[in-house]
Amino acid sequence: MTIVSNKNTPRNTYTASANQTSFAISFEFYQIADVKVYKNGTLLTYNATPSGSSQYSITGTASASDNAYEFGSGGSITLGAGASANDIIVIIRDISVERTTDFPNSGAFDITSLNTQLDTLTSIVADVKTQTDRSVKLLDTDTVSATVTLPAKATRQSKLMGFDANGNIETTVNSAGLTTISGLTTEIQTLGAISSDLTNLNSNLSTISNVNSNISTITNVNSNLSAISTVNSNISAITTANSNNTAITNVSNAIANVNQVASNLSAVSDFANIYLGASSSAPTQDPDGSALDDGDLYFDSSSNQLKVFAIGSGWQNAGSSVNGTSKRYKYTVSGTPTTLTGNDDNSESLTYDAGFIDVYKNGVKMVNGADVTVTSGSSIVFASALAAGDIVEAIAFGTFNVSNVSASNVTSGILSTARGGTGLTSLGSAGQALVVNNSGNALVYSNASSAEVYGFKKSFTASTLNRTVTVASVGGSNKYFIDGVQQDTLELLEGNTYIFAYPSGHPFKFSTTSDGTHGSGSEYTTGVTHNSSTQVTIVVATNAPTLYYYCSSHSGMGGQANTPVPSNNTLQVQTTNTGADNISESDYAGFNDVLFAASGFSWSISSGKLIATI
């Protein structure tokens, strides 16, 4: 066919509206690979069934006047997800420069293939012209003596590109100077910022003259230089006070508390002799040098435990050595030791409250005081030596005291769940139970679960699918491509509807014989509707035979279409509705499956499997 200029400008640019997915291709093309799509400068990916805005599909439109294998009326691209407002979508044609068809020296040959080859060459020239039109080049009216060829790499490295007096490209200015200028940005901005001050200095020369006329006053300042010097020698202290102005203000605002501490220095000092601070080793005396007293405290930074002193028993943990209700340890024994201490297999350091630990060797519980001694709080001593490879596991229990609170003391208010209550002001109805609400943040009353009958009916729900058929020459012969796959073997599920869009020059039909009428077969028409010269619909019948798709005008283009029975994809559930409804005998007989369970379940089907959710 002829190619007019308005169909041979291989570039479309669009500014997308919010959620726009479809964009027209105004130029003709020959196969999907000829088209490239960019969004905001990023190349997108072709996919026959795109998902997400980074993928697209292509629908080609043949021209009624085509006498070539091509989409002479362009077509459209469809994004897998809507674009954002003001996204820039660019569609170009970029045909690989190659010759795909060879013609015989004499005799008959495919005129359509010849037209396709000539059209392709014309389109390649248009592609190159579009690229050169968008390139840096000399004006047609410019002198032909100008040189715009780049110098060699070694010559142009770290240079700025410019033009000499003759308009030729030169790379003589070193770019290193730009780094120096960039490093002086602050200084340049500072000069710009004080330009008005420099102007003010010039305009205030008369004021400077007035200073000169008051020189006697300045002399008086000179006579007090000693006092000024004293201020200057204490400038550090003055600066420190100024920088701590907030702290000084805070002390001033809390002067009553400061005075109270000052009047109770004895008690403050006493506390300093009770809490001895943090230390990696146990203190042996109070800070004032006196002996340790009952109740003295210090924080053991080695074991991260607060400890309390008692005369006669020394330092002990102020609370449980176990953080929480329990702590587990595991040791894999090497050698034949009798004592385990320090880090276990998980680098946890052994610590426990004396007597509050259970020890197991190879799964057998040891008897405290007989098989093991557990009194030190940091080691386990076995009565008999362990063997290499023994597994020793220990569970240390946290210890604590629970204070007794009489329920009669709670006389008002609502006890929240955080304090062991329900957070509710009244009881529910008969038969209801307390459950956590859907948000997971409170208790509510809900009907208690009851026995339930669940009857299941599984079925297949048909759907409609669209397929795109294109044609391309392979080894000199035309072939159908189904969604970009050459002569794809199709799986047409019974009951589904399939819509095929194809080029008008290659009518798409079905047969029970391979290659249809070209293979001495006939067209299969059951459930088939030819919507137009470019679209056919087939509703796959129950027990449909294996089919073959073919081009009624050209042989050897098609492939096979299997018609399998689909798996169930829909689940219908019938229940007794917590006893409110009945299930008839006929309904029960029609179930594919029956379950007897508690009420409250919901059901779904996925990949043929039954999924229960409660």
Digit-coded pLDDT (tens) for 141-174: 776 667 777 888 888 888 888 888 777 888 888 8
Q: 236 is written with which tokens?
A: 């550090």
Cα 231 to Cα 13: distance, rounded to the nearest angstrom: 74
**What is the per-residue pLDDT for 384?**
94
Question: Which of 60, 64, 50, 67 has the alpha carbon at shortest distance from 30?
Answer: 60
Q: 268 is written with which tokens?
A: 């403050």
**What is the per-residue pLDDT for 431?**
66
Helices (H) and strands (E) in the chain, counts: 13, 38
**What is the per-residue pLDDT for 4?**
58
Determine phi and psi for 213, rounding to 5 degrees. Answer: -75, -15
Q: Are strands 372-373 and 326-332 parallel, antiparallel or unpaired?
A: unpaired
Q: Give the pLDDT band (50/70/90) at residue 600.
A: low
pLDDT over threshold 80, residue 341 = yes
Q: What is the mean pLDDT of residues 507-534?
A: 96
pLDDT over threshold 90, residue 76 = yes
Q: pLDDT per residue over 113-130, tens digit each?
A: 777 777 778 888 877 888
pTM of the model: 0.31
Cα 39 to Cα 28: distance, rounded to the nearest angstrom: 21
Question: Which of 483, 489, 485 has the alpha carbon at shortest distance from 559?
Answer: 489
Cα 174 to Cα 161: distance, rounded to the nearest angstrom: 10
Cβ proximity of 444 and 429 under 8 Å: no
pLDDT over threshold 90, residue 564 = yes
pLDDT over threshold 60, residue 573 = yes
